Structure 1
Amino acid sequence: MKLFCFMISLFFLVISIIFIRKRSLEFKSGLLWILVSLILMIFSVNSTIIESLAKVTGIMYPPAFLFLMGIIFSLVMIFYLMIVISNMQKKLTKLIQENSILKDRIEEK
């Protein structure tokens, strides 16, 4: 099972690097996925880290700690992506307004 988890983490690491090199994934986001992949690789090799972190947080079942971290990571990513979408929406609205103004000016001439 540890080998399987390590291989999946390695797969995500390689895929992240490939997409960064192709410029399909933004460098900033890609670094996050590389970091997550490396952390998962460390967790898959050394399960005592998960057990000790679960004990510190008061979680009795160490795999439940991983699920909790996955849920928290997902919520943070969703929140970040909503901020990015909101900023893009504002920029798009401004661009449409400027385009409309320029179109009106061209039609007047």
Structure 2
Amino acid sequence: MNLFCFMISLFFLVISIIFVRKRSLEFKWGLLWILVSLILMIFSIDSRIVEYLAKATGIMYAPAFLFFMGIVFNLIMIFYLMIVISSMQKKLTKLIQENSILKDRVEER
């Protein structure tokens, strides 16, 4: 099972690097996903790390710790992306308004 998890993490690492090199994925996001891949690879190599972290956080079942961390990571990503979307929405509204004003000025002439 550990080998399977390692191979999936390695595949994810390679895909992340490919998308960063193709510039389909921004560098800062690529670094995040590369870091996540490396952490998952480390966890799959040595399960004692996961067991230690689970016990340190008070979780008795180590796989439950991984699910918990995955959920927390997803919640943080969703929250951050909502902030980005809100910012883009404000910029888009401002851009539309400015475009409309410029269009009116051009039509007046």
Query: TM-score w.r.t. structure 1 length?
Result: 0.98
Cα RMSD after superposing both structures: 0.5
Shift of 1:54: 0.6
1:26 equivalent to 2:23? Answer no
Matches within 5 A, 1:17-96: 17-96=17-96
Amino acid at match of 1:74: N
The answer to whether 1:98 aligns with 2:98 is: yes
The count of corresponding residues between Structure 1 and Structure 2 is 109
Letter of the 2:37 counterpart: S
TM-aligned CA deviation for residue 52 of structure 1: 0.4
CA deviation after TM superposition for structure 1 residue 50, in Å: 0.3
Partner Cα separation in structure 2 for residue 85 and residue 40 of structure 1: 28
User: Which amino acid in 1 is paired with 2:60?
Assistant: M
How far residue 80 of structure 1 moved from its aligned partner, in angstroms, is 0.6
Letter paired with 1:26: E
- Residue 5 of structure 2 is matched in structure 1 by 5
- Cα drift, residue 40 of structure 1: 0.1
Q: Distance in 2 between matches of 1:88 and 1:9?
A: 32
Give the Å deviation of 1:23. Answer: 1.0
**Gap regions ≥5 residues in structure 1:** none
Q: What TM-score comes out, normalization by structure 2 length?
A: 0.98
Letter paired with 2:3: L
What is the CA deviation profile of residues 42-79 of structure 1, one whole-angstrom value per residue up to 9, with x for unaligned ones?
00000000000011111110000000000000000000
Q: For residues 8-48 of structure 1, what are the alpha-carbon distances to aligned partners after superposition, in whole Å with 9 as ceiling and x for unaligned?
A: 00011011111111111111111100000000000000000
Counterparts of 2:23 and 2:92 in 1: how far apart (Å)? Answer: 22
- State the identity as a percent: 84
